[in-house]
Amino acid sequence: MPNLSSAHASLSPHGEHAMGAALCVLSMSSIQFGAALSAPVMTELGVLPTSWLRLSWAAIALLIWTRPPVHRYGREQWVAAVLLGAASAAMTLLFFAAVQRIPLGLAAAIEFLGPLGVAAAGTRSVRALAWPVLALVGVALLTGAGDADSATDLPGLGMAAAAGVCWAVYIVMTKKVGRAFEGLQGLAMSISVAALLALPFGLSTLPGPLSTSTFGITLGLALLVPLLPYAFEMIALRRLPTSTFGILMSLEPAIAVLAGRVVLGQVMSAAQLLGTALVVSASVGVTLRR
């Protein structure tokens, strides 16, 4: 894994923000295309086993890579790592469960309400709140238009919304863990916690022994989600305020629509595409204002 954090000291403030934004785009692309590519494996194994296996492979890889000195960590570090791990596990399980019921782009747009809330919380101007409102209108179009089955699938919509709440907690805690640990040690600890929390859900629903091909596929998918994106986001949040990070995350619904179209052949209605455009426009407007 490249040591992206090593270049931190050599970048100007402008370069720091540019690097953080680029890492956000890479993270979102990895998550959404990873989610789309996971569809066949999820059909074979189920949502919970697939999510648990990916968290487990990512945790093992990070523990080997970072070799964290766990005996040296203090109470505050452990609390931060456990909270981030719990948020990561819940976010992962809920989001991929939602994707099994509603289109990928729709799930991502609803989940985005989490980082949107973080961005709004960091807004100090009343006028600037117009952008979160615009994003909310976009999400309303996404959830209320197009495929009637998707728009009325309350469990799917609810799981996507719950994943958004976990995402907001994840952003705040990733910032804290990034400051509390050196390098990617905090990420290794938090993903290990997430894998342990997901273990009873994944193991109890695993349909049977893993084949060699399935083992290899889930190991490869773990690189796309969650290993690379979580690493990218932790490094990005060392360079960006949480409010800016939350705004940049509004690009994810558009990337999700693209991934769903390219990989899964999912087609969204004109109203849902308009909703995605409004959500993305809100992030662009706030970014330009800043």
Digit-coded pLDDT (tens) for 197-240:
999 999 999 998 888 888 899 999 999 989 999 999 999 999 88
The average pLDDT across 169-196 equals: 96
**Residue 15, token pair as written in the block:** 């370069």
Predicted pLDDT at 77: 96
Return the pLDDT at 287.
Answer: 59
More confident residue, 92 or 146: 92
**Concatenated DSSP letters for 81-116?**
HHHHHHHHHHHHHHHHHHHTTS-HHHHHHHHTHHHH
Query: Which is nearest to 147 in space by CA: 106, 206, 178?
Result: 106
Please check the confidence at residue 179 and state whether its pLDDT lies above 90: yes
**CB-based contact 62:222 (threshold 8 Å):** no
Query: What's the pLDDT band for 146 if we cut at 50, 70, 90?
Result: very low
| The pLDDT of residue 4 | 53
Structure confidence at residue 268 as a pLDDT band (50, 70, 90): confident
DSSP 211: P
Regarding predicted confidence, which is higher, 183 or 128?
A: 183
pLDDT at 148 over 60: no
Domain ranges of the chain: 14-289
Say if residue 123's pLDDT is above 90.
Answer: no
Q: What predicted TM-score, i.e. pTM, was given to this entire model?
A: 0.83
Taking residues 161-190, report their average pLDDT: 95
In this predicted structure, the answer to whether residue 259 has a pLDDT above a threshold of 70 is yes
- Dist. CA 247–CA 112, nearest whole Å: 9
pLDDT at position 167: 92
pLDDT tens readout for residues 36-90? 888 889 888 988 899 899 999 999 999 999 999 999 999 999 999 999 999 999 9
Least confident of 132-146, 174-188, 266-280: 132-146
b/e sequence 226-260, b meaning 16+ C-beta within 10 Å: bbbbbbbbbbbbbbbbbbbbbbbbbbbbbbbbbbb
Per-residue pLDDT at 290: 55
For residue 172, is pLDDT > 60?
yes
Query: 121 to each of 2, 46, 168, 287, how far by Cα in Å?
Result: 33, 36, 11, 15
Task: Give the count of beta carbons closer than 10 Å to the beta carbon of residue 188.
Answer: 25
pLDDT band at residue 137 using 50, 70 and 90 as cut-offs: confident
* Closest to 21 measured CA to CA, from 107, 191, 29: 29
Side-chain-side CA neighbours of residue 216 (13 Å): 3
Once rounded to an integer, what is the mean pLDDT over residues 125-143? Answer: 75
Neighbours of 131 (CB within 10 A): 23
